[in-house]
Structure 1
């Protein structure tokens, strides 16, 4: 039976390579081991097993890998084997020996569409037209292909015509009666040392080049239209697509799809005819020469458009493109998004110094409160020394010129649920006299119990450190507040820790072209 087996391969012209682009060829050939032709995976040579062990140390482990194979990235599973160079080489040889039927079909389709044999192309157009006019024929098409293109040739092979004894060329006579005169043919893979095997490799490399060229050409055409690199162009495409989709939802059932497919398919095949292409090119040249010879008056003002039936018609392709750009010119410049950023001015006071001995430490994006992770870990606050070194977040730019001090420190302290701190409460009065005349928005750490004065234990504080003015300790507070600065008086009366901070805010707006900001200290982006 092997002697009568048939090998499907493209023995005709090579599968052409599309000339869309000219990428630089990469020659990453690897020698094929002649000793690993066996299909058994267990009979690998020592070189293959050594190379597999080497790849286990190089190839990263897959995310969805089983725990049993966690230590071996190349280990096999019951369903799908892992990566193996000998297995991949063996599978490639098997694939290349059997892929010839695909290239044979591709070559025949190209011959039909390129009018190599006009009778075949016309027959295809008739069949296509019948299917377009009556789509129900698609159900019978697979059976027709099975009968006419598979079973009839197989039957003719079993019943060949008798040998001709005449010297004249006559039509062979097929006998459909009697026993079979020839054995049945079978399809077998192409041997690895045959020309068909190398023809398949040739067509396979050409198909890979075609796919790469089509992929790159598609990306180069559609990516600029859809990735919003040019926001005006992509917005126009999106707007046109939205309007078209909305229109098709309402009018799709009214479109004559049969006639559209019939006219479109026949026009595409006929346009590929060499004679039709020459006729169309000559017709376009005649039309272009006729338009150039016409002496049409230009519109007033010397414009480039011509008046035809009351409508302005562009006189050149460049004028037509400019007219289209004016029609689709949409404005994508909207008011940029605005946010409020914050920075904290952190000050430090050395233990044992006076209550007024605060020193400017730095500007930090975090308040460095007593329960912050960096504070608990023993890390020093991070930031910059001056306001000028504070940079806006990446993709944003400053809108306001100055930083503004946030005097209402209660809001951000409560919002962050910060405990163990004291802060100023503006507008609190006692006996008609303002206890806090001026506030600076400071939030200071409360001292520990060991460092706090004993007389402060009788005073009542709220959950977040602000004073309860409705308690009985209010007269004591008023008596203890001197006529000087409130910050120094409050610190003297209640005691403070080693750190205090206050919040500064500034308005930023989003940039059109996102660019990274500075590398010193970024302010924290908040909400509107």
Structure 2
């Protein structure tokens, strides 16, 4: 016995759901009802609140579409009627409309399957004739759409308007059509399938199967194409890339010589004829005969048949596959990429220190020259204290065992267009700030700072002997200081000792090579830079 309360709730739910579904119908369907104005006014106040609550719930569950707002920068454009946001009622309505009108696509699919499966041989042969004529004369493609329009749309529509008269005889006779006189039947229009009809559910079944077929075809295509093209097997993908490149170049030069019409004619007829049941049976019998003869080891039984053009012929399919793999086994460049990294050894000397007052400061990826941005900003050079602390760039490893000193300091100074420095030149005439030395250490030092105006005046006076008497008396050296002054003058004339600034640097290089994959979990600070 049914519960009255539950029956009341069920009826109320059906009433609510039916009224809600009526709101999802198009406007022209809603206006067709006799009391459309009253139903709209009564249901709008009820269902609008439900729809709003349901949409608010969906907005909390489903993330908002921020891409359109990011591209346009306007929320009104993102929520325009042309491209409305995701809504479950709208999606339900669109699916119902789509499913009611998709039947023509499935009808065409069924007719195509029937045509190519030789269910009606006369139709298939007629298609083969038409296809052959088009292959032999491609200009007929311009006629084909008009012929299809006339024979499959216009003629059936005319026959619907002018049906044959009813037969009065008891014997079955072929009906005849009268092309004279007024139309006897109404015009046939294409209507969507009703939601409660068998066609609607048949469309849902076909759509379900079509989605499954597409998913299976997509997965099968990816499983076949991806291993060939994603370079998971670099030798196979490289061989495919090389073959496609060669084929592209060859076809670019010889495409006009390829008989496209004959190829399309032969391929199309062969593909359609292979689906004929009798042809399939014939080929299956031939394959069975060939496999039976192969089991008796008739083929390739003699030693003379084991070679073709001097090359061994494989007997089994597995041997043929291995032979193809050996053919595709191209030689790849297994040597990893190599680069040269550099590091600068920077030393500092306090003002007024002796010749041996240079102190190792650090190893830096930048030379810290006088016009470098960090030095102009007043920052100290950055780097590491020891060679062992220098790490390779991410994804690279050391190839050479030790660092090598770059003795040709002039090259990298000129390449970087560094000014305000002096450097060593072995055994040649000096150029610019270069100094001739016997032993080259690769050092590049800063030039001393320019003297002030008072110092320049004092040095000019010393050169011309016009100093005041008191300064001349102060400048007169004693006998015990004459030797020290001579030594100091010689040292100041040597730019490698005291005629330099506070900083000097030299360049070290080392070879690195790329690894297959960067080491995981390493977060080291790299001080070396890659060179080209």
**Same structural fold, with TM-score higher than 0.5 when normalized by the shorter chain:** yes
CA contact (8 A) 2:348 2:502 kept: no
Instruction: Mark the CA change 1:352 to 1:115 in structure 2 (over 3 Å): closer, same or farther.
Output: farther
Q: 2:385 and 2:393 mapped to 1: Cα distance?
A: 18
After alignment, is 173-182 or 355-364 more displaced? 355-364
Instruction: Mark the CA change 1:330 to 1:194 in structure 2 (over 3 Å): closer, same or farther.
Output: same
What are the Cα deviations for residues 95-117 of structure 1, in whole angstroms up to 9, with x where unaligned? 44433322221221122112333
Please tell me whether residue 214 in structure 1 is matched to residue 212 in structure 2. Answer: no
List aligned pairs for 1:20-59, cutoff 5 A: 34=21, 37=24, 39=26, 45-47=51-53, 50=56, 58-59=64-65
1:137 to partner: Cα distance: 2.4
| Structure-1 residue corresponding to 2:411 | 411
| Structure-1 residue corresponding to 2:364 | 364
Aligned length: 460
Instruction: Mark the CA change 1:159 to 1:338 in structure 2 (over 3 Å): closer, same or farther.
Output: same
| Structure-2 residue corresponding to 1:524 | 529
Q: 2:95 and 2:68 mapped to 1: Cα distance?
A: 23
| Structure-2 residue corresponding to 1:260 | 263
CA contact (8 A) 1:481 1:490 kept: no
Structural RMSD (CA): 4.5
List aligned pairs for 1:126-275, cutoff 5 A: 126-164=129-167, 169-275=172-278
- Partner of 2:178, secondary structure, is coil
1:265 to partner: Cα distance: 0.9
1:350 to partner: Cα distance: 8.2
1:458 to partner: Cα distance: 6.5
Q: 1:193 and 1:36 mapped to 2: Cα distance?
A: 18
Q: 1:430 and 1:255 mapped to 2: Cα distance?
A: 70
CA contact (8 A) 1:395 1:514 kept: yes
What are the Cα deviations for residues 287-309 of structure 1, in whole angstroms up to 9, with x where unaligned? 12212314554549xxxx71468
1:516 to partner: Cα distance: 4.8
| Structure-2 residue corresponding to 1:505 | 509
CA contact (8 A) 1:393 1:523 kept: yes
1:282 to partner: Cα distance: 2.5
CA contact (8 A) 1:74 1:84 kept: no
1:145 to partner: Cα distance: 0.7
Instruction: Mark the CA change 1:320 to 1:290 in structure 2 (over 3 Å): closer, same or farther.
Output: same
| Structure-2 residue corresponding to 1:318 | 318
- Partner of 2:345, secondary structure, is strand
1:153 to partner: Cα distance: 1.3
CA contact (8 A) 2:445 2:501 kept: no
Q: 2:26 and 2:111 mapped to 1: Cα distance?
A: 32
- Partner of 2:424, secondary structure, is coil
Instruction: Mark the CA change 1:508 to 1:222 in structure 2 (over 3 Å): closer, same or farther.
Output: same
TM-score, normalisation: structure 2: 0.70
Q: 1:379 and 1:101 mapped to 2: Cα distance?
A: 76
Please tell me whether residue 425 in structure 1 is matched to residue 430 in structure 2. Answer: no
| Structure-2 residue corresponding to 1:333 | 333
1:401 to partner: Cα distance: 1.9
Instruction: Mark the CA change 1:407 to 1:122 in structure 2 (over 3 Å): closer, same or farther.
Output: same
1:339 to partner: Cα distance: 2.5
What are the Cα deviations for residues 129-171 of structure 1, in whole angstroms up to 9, with x where unaligned? 2322333322221111111111111112212234455666544
After alignment, is 355-364 or 330-339 more displaced? 355-364
| Structure-1 residue corresponding to 2:80 | 76
- Partner of 1:367, secondary structure, is coil
The structure that has the greater radius of gyration is 2
Q: 1:242 and 1:490 mapped to 2: Cα distance?
A: 60
1:381 to partner: Cα distance: 5.3
Q: Which runs of 5+ in 1 are unaligned?
A: 1-32, 460-475
